[in-house]
Structure 1
Amino acid sequence: MSELRLKLLVWAALLLLGSLLALLGLRGLGELFRTAQQASTLEQALNLIEPRRAAPGRLEWLPDDPTPRPLEPFRRDEITSDYLLAHEELSHTHFTGETTGLRSYFQSGALEDALLMGQGPSGVMVDWKHRLRLHFYAPDGATVAFSDTYWYAQVSRQSPARLAERTLEVVMQLDDGNWRIHHWRLLQERPLPARLLPVSTAGVRGVNYQPRSHPFDLFGPGYEPREVLSDMRIGRMLGLGTWRVFVPYPPPPGYRQRLESFLSLAQDQQVRVVVTLLDGYTRYRFEDFPKVFAHLEELAPLLRHPAVWLVDAKNEPDRDYARAGQELVIEFLRAWSRALRYYSAKPITVGFIEPHPALVPELEVLSFHHYGTPAQLERRIEGFMKHQKPLLLEEFGFHTQRNKLPDPHSELEQAHHYQQVLQFTHRYNLGWLAWTLYDFDRGAMPGGRAVERHLGLLRADGTPKPVVQVLAGQPAPPLGWSERLGKWLVFWPLLLLGMGLLLGWRLWLTRRAA
């Protein structure tokens, strides 16, 4: 009996122990599942910014203030990483209103401020060029205080673009292995004003320059200073003292050295330069500002070069309205032109086909492009004069491709076109830049347009066209009988051919019916 009771007690103990182990196992699995779920939620929160990433770019630490002890390099790296991630998440919140990820980077009063951003008007906010200066590092290694001066751009449908430099005082604490912003305070904010510089375009005579050896790639690997110098001397003999050039974006390697060489040659030859930026850029995304401004900072010393007369923010942005949206293009250019003014201290223009009224107040010079008739040009000039800005006919030209059907032109027609255009520019006292110095017998043309090869003042072999006489102040040579008849030489043969085909078809139908 005692042996049976002992066995029962053993089995009961084993059963109780098994139950306890099962309960502990289930609790452990539950805890493991809960931990995994929390990790998944945290990972989702940390990755919320990925669909619309607006990376602030490089962060720079300025020399520290005197502190109780130095900040270890690995701690500085941790703070740098977590602080930039916090700004990325803040940009994402401003764009989407989604605030879930903010708690991963903000706590206390800073979190309350960050959450308010999700309740405001949606739009794009991006910041860059963060410059941090350490003021305090706690002995326990878990608290730092620093100031941060950075640039930011903000735009929404409810308000125009805002570009400013801001300084914050920030306190970050180490929580569970991550640095979070607990407190911050705005110390200073400096919006960029649209201050305008005095400038005149009267008497400006110039050209849009593309080299013969590698057209539409001036600052690429084929850049040749001797060719540029020769062309500048030729341009000066033609009375073309202002040259417009294009800096591509993204820029090719070595472009900065080539642009510096070009500007030095221009200064030696007493040629003034219009530098057109962001050539080829069509996105107009505020999220691109960190990279675009890094490019601008690299260019800034050259934009202050004595040879630079005018900075052109963008070439023909109105061609991009359909792709990027007119409102976004204008707001991007508004912020971009103010930043250019800050970095270059030179007058600003935009190479519009048709200037947009909303951007006119931001510009010193109102530039426009015209490839229509001289009569149309006069009407456009009179319309633009209401803005009371110096006017620049930044592009105009006339092709000389004789086999361009149904609109062939000759070199004599080009000379007469220039003669009429320059009469209007003289009458209204505005500057002009012709397109372009040379015809091109090599290289790819924009959009594959063949007429781009025949818009030069000089032929591809360097010999002058009759239009050079007009530039020298002489009358254009008389038009020949072929120019006077013009399109009739094309129209009548086509008409007669069509009538002959129609008559032949009627005769064939008549015979077949018989």
Structure 2
Amino acid sequence: MVKTNKRILRGVLMLTYLVIIGILLFLVSSVFSFLNTGADRSKMLHTEVKKVEQYLPKVTWVLDGNEGRKISEQKIKSVENDYLDAWYVKHIAYKTNTRVGIEDYFTESARENIYNILDYNKLNKTSIESTTLEHNLDIEFFSEDGQLIVLTDTNTLEYKKVFKDDKLVLETTEISTYRYILLLEDGFWRIRHMVKETSEKFESSLKRTSISNTNIKGINYYPQATPWNMYGDEFDINIIKNDFRIIKKSGLNSIRIFVPYEDFGKANVNYKKLEKLKLVLDTALEIDIKVVVTLFDFYGNYDVLDWTLNQRHAEKVVETFKDHEAILAWDVKNEPNLDFDSRGKENVTAWLDFMIILIKSIDKKHPVTIGWSNVESATILKDKVDVVSFHYYEDLSKFESDYLALKENINDKPIILQEFGLSSYGGLWRPFVGSDEKQAEYYKEIQKVLTKNEIPFMSWTLYDFDNVPKEVLGRLPWRTNPQKKFGFITSSGAKKLSYKYISKE
């Protein structure tokens, strides 16, 4: 019995010893791991506000040499990344009046001025929403020990909105020149000193671009089986080609298509999606159909700090296809005025303004327009666009007078009726309201007005759809079911009565 107890005690002691040794080994290895990763930037930073996929302004380098040590391309890229990170965390800080991230990108001396501004703004209930859209960088000096850089940033394009008690008190766009001193600390570049040398108000000089054909008889297009998902896994260029032949044979000469922002990869545009879009444009050219490309579909943020991502998206698409012969015009955004209530009219119009500037700076051949959802909004930014486009789903009896009033207001630019139509749905959720006969009568009457006033038009849409994605109108059947029946052709391919009036009276 005594021997048994001793064996049990000895076993317990051995087990306890092993547990203690295991704990000690774990603690030692953790300390060792911590000490070895302490200089790793990704572990050291205590902020979540990183520039990656959040802040991508256009950057141009002046690579004409510098004083001091020769700098490598890899080092230049490192400087650029850290420099833009610093801008981004400063934007966040001024917007939120918090110090998050500032310590990681600015030395102690540079932080003092930023902290003073933050304290003052917080005390006075002031905040600043800002972004930079362009940087032109030049390294003037790189020290022999590789620890210090003197950097100039010329013609920096800055957009700012200043709020006092949550009310907008100032909106400004500036072109500024900065000089910076950066120090290499802990493996990355921190800003030690910064001076704004010059600043002036930004004035854009937009040249008007004429549209190649004002005799537009067109239609908004999605393939019947894949509405609002034209470039997905079921993409079939043969189906699209057949549809384009139907459109051409019907007497129409143009289409409007849509680029879904997220589906195309947002700022990092997916080249496979671009290849599919190229196939669509090539096919349109082959069939002799012109194309209006709407650049932003399923996007509605407009946050100032999102602008650089949006611009990289538009830049890639426009740059890729600016010389394509099928392009008729660029449409910045579909019905942006529907976002006025949720996002703020000033935010939306400022975003549109800068998108127009960007697109026209890349493509000087094709006109730019905006697809407003109604006549009332169509005068917004009328001096910036080349073509005024509006949609009309209101009472048909008022259409001609509404159009003529708009034309009187805009007498120097083409006006396009970019969307219009009537659903033939007359089911449970709209009994006795819609029918094939009523839809055909609608198109017969509106075509009379279009012909009389020589109004360019693009109707909605070629096909009826079996399904409308919830992202378009939600799930409510009284909203989605009527949307399924706007086509001139049924989902099974039969021509509806309205097809007779698809292109003319």
TM category (shorter chain) comes to 0.7 to 0.9
SS in 2 for 1:158: strand
- For residue 143 of structure 1, the aligned residue among 128, 143, 148 is 148
* Structure 2 match to 1:403: 427
Q: Tell me the residue number matched to 2:13.
A: none
What amino acid does structure 2 have at the position aligned with 1:158? V
The Cα shift of 1:70 comes to 2.4
| Whole-Å separation in 1 of the counterparts to 2:56 and 2:425 | 48
Are 1:273 and 2:279 counterparts?
Answer: no
TM-score normalised by the chain length of structure 1: 0.72
Residue pair 1:349, 1:365 contacting (<8 A) in 2 also: yes
Partners of 2:432 and 2:346 lie apart in 1 by: 35
Cα deviation, residue 159, structure 1? 4.1
Equivalence for 2:368: 348
Q: Distance in 1 between matches of 2:73 and 2:331?
A: 43
Distance 1:270 1:344, change over 3 A: same
Deviations 1:87-112 (A, max 9, x none): 12432354356689768626879986
TM-score with structure 2 length normalisation?
0.74
Q: Tell me the CA shift for residue 299 of structure 1.
A: 0.9
Query: What RMSD in Å do the two structures reach over aligned CA positions?
Result: 3.6
CA distance 1:386–1:322, change in 2 (3 Å): same
Give 1:270's aligned amino acid: D
Deviation by residue 1:138-190 (Cα, 9 ceiling, x = unmatched): 2243332234465543334234463x776544333457986324244557976
| Paired residue secondary structure (1:170) | strand
Instruction: Provide the residue aligned with 2:182 in structure 1.
Output: 172
Q: Which amino acid aligns with 1:155?
A: K
Structure 2: how far apart are the matches of 1:107 and 1:185?
19
The equivalent residue for 2:229 is 217
Q: How far is the alpha carbon of 1:270 from its aligned partner?
A: 1.8
Which of the residues 153, 163, 166 maps onto 2:159?
Answer: 153
Task: Show the 5 A alignment for 1:162-241.
Answer: 162=173, 168-174=178-184, 179-184=190-195, 186=197, 191-199=203-211, 202-241=214-253
* 2:494 alignment partner in structure 1: 463
| Bigger share in helix | 1
Query: Which residue of structure 2 aligns with residue 18 of structure 1?
Result: none
Aligned to 1:105: 106
Is the deviation greater in 131-140 or in 69-78? 69-78
Contact kept? 2:180, 2:191, Cα under 8 Å: no
**Matching of residues 226-305 of structure 1 within 5 Å:** 226-252=238-264, 253=270, 254-304=272-322, 305=324
Structure 1 residues 116 and 455, CA gap change in structure 2 (3 angstroms): same
Change (3 A) 1:224 1:100: closer
Q: Distance in 1 between matches of 2:68 and 2:51?
A: 40
Quote the Cα distance in structure 2 between the aligned partners of 1:161 and 1:335. 13
Distance 2:136 2:63 in 1: 10
Match of 1:123 in 2: 128
Alpha-carbon distance in 1 for matches of 2:80, 2:52: 18
CA drift of 1:48 comes to: 8.1
**1:74 and 1:443, CA in 2 relative to 1: closer, same or farther beyond 3 A?**
closer
256-265 or 136-145: bigger deviation: 136-145
Shift of 1:287: 0.9
Change (3 A) 1:147 1:400: same
Aligned partner of 1:57 in structure 2 is 56
The offset of 1:403, in angstroms, is: 2.3
Q: Distance in 2 between matches of 1:118 and 1:430?
A: 57
Aligned to 2:450: 425
Q: Are residues 344 and 116 of structure 1, via their aligned partners in 2, closer, same or farther at CA, if it must alter by over 3 Å?
A: farther
User: Alpha carbons of 1:173 and 1:203: their partners in 2 closer, same or farther (altered >3 Å)?
Assistant: same
| Structure index of larger Rg | 1
Name which of structure 1's ranges 260-269 and 334-343 shifts more when overlaid on structure 2. 334-343
Give the letter for the 1:91 counterpart: H
Contact 2:315 2:359 in 1 (8 A): no
> How far is the alpha carbon of 1:208 from its aligned partner?
0.3
Identity across matched positions, percent = 23
- Counterpart Cα distance in 2 of 1:49 and 1:431: 50
Are the structure 2 counterparts of residues 134 and 473 from structure 1 closer, same or farther at C-alpha, using a change threshold of 3 Å?
closer
Task: String of CA shifts for 1:306-344, please: whole Å, max 9, x gaps.
Answer: 211111111111222222122222222222222222223
Q: Is the 8 A contact 1:208 1:437 kept in 2?
A: yes
Counterpart amino acid of residue 154 in structure 1 = K
Distance change >3 Å, CA 119–CA 392, structure 1 → 2: farther
